Structure 1
């Protein structure tokens, strides 16, 4: 999450006044601009050798889950705050949901600032849905080298970073928009299988509400190894913390903290030991001395089951029994070490179907009906392998100890959005799996000549309006028809509630809500695209419908039967670039799991080096990239969109700088 680091070597200033001062300088940044500096060429990639240690294969037992629940119940009783408690494993399997007597039946998602709710704002949802989302967030955002909570998530998804009344004028959170990932409609995230069998526990599993920014969700560790997460819903309010300058006394957070006793994240890797732009992240406002119970002395599970509450079934998530977690890295977990035939790097991990098969084997493009020459499997493999090599050399931003190597998930798609390959680092956070695919699809979609037509053909009433909004904003009546190559960073520029990002008083970007209507539950086009799917899923959870939302987010026209180009939604924070054969779009690569500049660099250099290796594909020509789009402001200034940002001192094995320059 290292941010505000420019590929042309300028440190971006964060105040409004400084932004104005560097506006013209920013216009010259973003890989592919014409720069007076000589281009820096990355050193030759070494022959792949193992540089990572995979996590130990630990898992939560039934007794562990019982202990976690019992500790949470003891604290909830001490606070007189009946709660719904969810426990998941690292890949999102719900191991148990416990509903205390008197716990709220539902939660309400926070309203829009002006009370005019849109998208997910104001929705009423079963409380179990919030508890599951919080537990999944704690598990998915964390790894063996970083522990993030839902309070951490709150800090990094809002319109200013850090979120606080005195932070006006600062740009948005580094993972702005990540909350709309791991959605219930995602075609990547797997679904509960009640009948068991080899695929029953494969992940990553979906979340009813995507990722959560509501305090009360933590990761769980066993013998120092990430094994899952716990989430608590007790107050009926599902929101976020808009002011990080104070310390909250939050019952849900204290109940969840008590639940983690004996399964705490190692102190050295918690979010408050990780900084972004010089700001320490927040892990929790709850402290052990503030607990009203003694977790080590909590009554055993048999003494509370059926008395303080009982297990609660949730349709297609959990049954009336506690199950043991699956060990991450095993075939049964859905994520394991790749064989040499699957991916030629000894550190590579892949997604599996639980029966020994790669879910997303490397293959050629499926879009022969739309492009003259689809990507070949050789080209796909070259880009994925080269991106993996860059990841293996990159200095991680969110991992402890310092100078650890980055670990991410890398996804590659064709112009139909079909997956041509997914590979990941052994300990990459799980959230990046779905997000990297969102990013790859987003870059390919918005760079596609059919983007405007597809959005205008969406069945929900508002989505087509975003096309005219962006055309009016850019002064380009042909926007979104393939003239420009859009990275996620460029599209994200247009998706912020202030443009330029963070400058209070400016109008919103054309893909965003106005600030008076914006909060993390309604970001604009991103949330509007998936709203019908979330509503369908909630109707299914509450038994109002017998038909769940399909594994096909968005109501865009299908490009092939039961599949559209944005089948798990879009993403609006950086880490992707489109792929071209000459001037023709042929796909996209997306990266997620570390700092956003690291994600940008891995996708950008991975494509550059893979393209050089095969000699047939590569980046869009510089004149086609979205950083050539100039947006006029009301005060006469002009601001260009950004394409990619690459970090300072990016590699652990060389002092090279400006590694994205001139590519």
Structure 2
């Protein structure tokens, strides 16, 4: 999750002089273009027989008794604080195992207003409190793994317009996972939905979240015998917001209540966010400390004494009924995420998504876009890119995992120009959020690099979305923008979606895909949120029984590329980790990576495509250097020029070689 530096190009050695850096001061240069030959690290010798280098998580899960214990301990703390709460528990793949609503707890929550009070997108929405509790619990579960434990407070720190968020951090770039809050959306075509009748598909994940991922404190991961098994989320104050100032310590009742619920299911100390740094900044795990709990969680009354007296179980339409369930064992067929068979993927460490009946949900296949692409990606080409990206990941040094020098673990998605999934594979212990996000990233770069992007946005069923085409063209001084003339990476798209351009430079206008800073907060980012707000409103109307039909399992109101599929069917993503795939000068698809650091994500996508293309004889590969987004120059109002970026690869990226500058010359 290393942040890209606005003033540094990828591959710049640490010993470069200050004068050299100053000369680069306004360049947002790519690490993907320019050189004449690839680094040796970019084309490692083939591995005829991949061997296992990862250990899959042990088989653990939350039992019904465990969920009851979590409820009992959280309720005891809430009662001691006189703060009735709604408490949700989920398993690792997002199944809601139960919701306990205390007597007197708030019925609804209000999402934080825009800074200028002119609410748009999710800002100011009134939502059932259960929705916030579920989102917080899913955030704790999805952002975590066996190598890192992140909370919803951690999420708050890494999604804001500055990192770290604080009054004295003005001028710093945005958070490394800026935009991740708009993933695992209720409309996602990847994330699954609750099935009350049971059967083999009942517990398959990853499940969706009512509000995407949460930046509101009060959500933690849950561990059992050191193994990630789920998350707990609490709503008690009726306000759903974020922490804009990390320099102080909040006394947040919701966080204390959730912390009490984790007692006996705590994240191991050595992998918590406050043991992990990004650009030298320690992440934040919790402002609540066990010593400050109002009561001893181990002395909490038994669940049998509080159910019906302190509160009751609460149903949420298409999430959970009036019962408590045991969680799925992650890695099993029942969880929907399991080890791949040899026929499905060649590497013995690979995990895939399964349908609960033994079938890979996203088997490797050829492109579905033959009606508009003369030579779509073949299954062999898609497989080569996926397998080579998996090899790069297996060699890469992790950014967010403990202990240091762990191997990176990510999710990898390949799509065609329609947004159809041509294969999805992941490491055994990669964080769950990366599944949906890797697909978002692949679809985002395939969309923005597509000749039909402007036409699709201009005809969207929204009053505002078409305006982003005009904003983009005016900002870039390019009347042909979004017609396939530029190969956009996720890093390039993301810079155009920041509330300051260049990223972090105050007193600058917003990028054309962003809200102005006076109207921006994490609940309204710009085009990203505008594309899905109608879906979220439809879903909330369904949850509150004000609509008989839920939002479709297909985000955005863009025109379909295939029946029941559009090019951004699980939403847009605006932080790095994806590049388009070309056959000559023709766009044929994209690869997206997510899970273990944004520079690592960039590198795995960039080198995975380069090596995959080389493996199939050069038939596919990167866009020509003069077509990539780092060749786009933005003319600032003061007469200065700034380039976009393409990718940014990390220093000392591999565990098996000391090579640097591994993306140069490709």
Q: TM-score when scaled to structure 1?
A: 0.98
Query: Matched residues in 2 for 1:79 and 1:382: separation?
Result: 56
Equivalent residues in 2 for 1:335-484 (5 A)?
335-484=337-486
Correspondence for 2:651 among 641, 648, 651 = 648
Runs (4+) off by over 6 Å: 17-20
Query: Matched residues in 1 for 2:312 and 2:139: separation?
Result: 24
* Counterpart position of 1:321: 323
Query: Matched residues in 2 for 1:632 and 1:73: separation?
Result: 57
- Residue 22 of structure 1: how far off its partner (Å): 3.0
- Residue 336 of structure 1: how far off its partner (Å): 0.3
What whole-Å deviation, never above 9, does each CA across 1:204-261 have from its counterpart, x for those lacking one? 0000000000000000000000000000000000000000000000000000000000
* Counterpart position of 1:44: 45
Query: Matched residues in 1 for 2:76 and 2:308: separation?
Result: 14
Contact 2:352 2:424 (C-alpha < 8 Å) held by counterparts? yes
Correspondence for 2:628 among 621, 625, 630 = 625
Question: Is 1:188 the counterpart of 2:190 in the alignment?
Answer: yes
- SS of 2:301 mapped into structure 1: coil
Contact 1:494 1:512 (C-alpha < 8 Å) held by counterparts? yes
* Counterpart position of 2:213: 211
- SS of 2:581 mapped into structure 1: strand
Query: Matched residues in 1 for 2:356 and 2:15: separation?
Result: 46
Contact 2:11 2:650 (C-alpha < 8 Å) held by counterparts? no
- SS of 2:580 mapped into structure 1: strand
Contact 1:489 1:572 (C-alpha < 8 Å) held by counterparts? yes
- SS of 2:10 mapped into structure 1: coil
- Residue 34 of structure 1: how far off its partner (Å): 2.0
- SS of 1:556 mapped into structure 2: coil
- SS of 1:544 mapped into structure 2: coil
Query: Matched residues in 2 for 1:456 and 1:19: separation?
Result: 40
Query: Matched residues in 2 for 1:296 and 1:594: separation?
Result: 35
Structure 1: stretches of 5+ with no match in the other structure: none
Contact 1:439 1:570 (C-alpha < 8 Å) held by counterparts? yes
Query: Matched residues in 2 for 1:535 and 1:412: separation?
Result: 30
Query: Matched residues in 2 for 1:383 and 1:12: separation?
Result: 34
Structure 2: stretches of 5+ with no match in the other structure: none
Query: Matched residues in 2 for 1:622 and 1:338: separation?
Result: 36
* Counterpart position of 1:33: 33
* Counterpart position of 2:640: 637
Equivalent residues in 2 for 1:134-145 (5 A)?
134-145=136-147
* Counterpart position of 2:4: 4
Query: Matched residues in 1 for 2:181 and 2:657: separation?
Result: 35
Contact 1:45 1:389 (C-alpha < 8 Å) held by counterparts? no
What whole-Å deviation, never above 9, does each CA across 1:280-309 have from its counterpart, x for those lacking one? 000000001110011011001000000000
Correspondence for 2:162 among 157, 160, 163 = 160
Summarize the Cα distance change of 1:19–1:209 in structure 2 as closer, same or farther, 3 Å threshold: farther
What whole-Å deviation, never above 9, does each CA across 1:419-478 have from its counterpart, x for those lacking one? 000000000000000000000000100000000000001001100000000000000000
Query: Matched residues in 2 for 1:460 and 1:18: separation?
Result: 47
Summarize the Cα distance change of 1:651–1:496 in structure 2 as closer, same or farther, 3 Å threshold: same
What whole-Å deviation, never above 9, does each CA across 1:397-425 have from its counterpart, x for those lacking one? 00000000000000000000000000000
- Residue 23 of structure 1: how far off its partner (Å): 2.8
- SS of 2:565 mapped into structure 1: coil
Query: Matched residues in 1 for 2:357 and 2:55: separation?
Result: 24
* Counterpart position of 1:580: 582
- SS of 1:65 mapped into structure 2: helix
- SS of 2:131 mapped into structure 1: helix
Query: Matched residues in 2 for 1:513 and 1:38: separation?
Result: 39
* Counterpart position of 1:71: 73
* Counterpart position of 1:173: 175
What whole-Å deviation, never above 9, does each CA across 1:100-137 have from its counterpart, x for those lacking one? 00000000000000000010000000000000000000
Query: Matched residues in 1 for 2:15 and 2:199: separation?
Result: 52
- SS of 2:363 mapped into structure 1: coil
Query: Matched residues in 1 for 2:392 and 2:459: separation?
Result: 39
Contact 1:61 1:324 (C-alpha < 8 Å) held by counterparts? yes
- Residue 19 of structure 1: how far off its partner (Å): 8.9
Correspondence for 1:282 among 281, 284, 304 = 284
Contact 1:40 1:662 (C-alpha < 8 Å) held by counterparts? no
Deviates more, 1:44-53 or 1:632-641: 44-53
Question: Is 1:124 the counterpart of 2:119 in the alignment?
Answer: no
- Residue 41 of structure 1: how far off its partner (Å): 4.6
Correspondence for 2:102 among 87, 100, 111 = 100
Correspondence for 1:22 among 17, 21, 24 = 24
Equivalent residues in 2 for 1:241-320 (5 A)?
241-320=243-322
Query: Matched residues in 2 for 1:512 and 1:235: separation?
Result: 30
Correspondence for 1:485 among 473, 478, 487 = 487
- Residue 634 of structure 1: how far off its partner (Å): 1.5
Query: Matched residues in 1 for 2:20 and 2:242: separation?
Result: 29
Correspondence for 2:226 among 207, 224, 229 = 224
- SS of 2:223 mapped into structure 1: strand
- SS of 2:546 mapped into structure 1: coil
Contact 1:40 1:660 (C-alpha < 8 Å) held by counterparts? no
- Residue 46 of structure 1: how far off its partner (Å): 3.1
- SS of 2:531 mapped into structure 1: helix
Query: Matched residues in 2 for 1:376 and 1:112: separation?
Result: 46
* Counterpart position of 2:507: 505
Query: Matched residues in 2 for 1:104 and 1:21: separation?
Result: 56
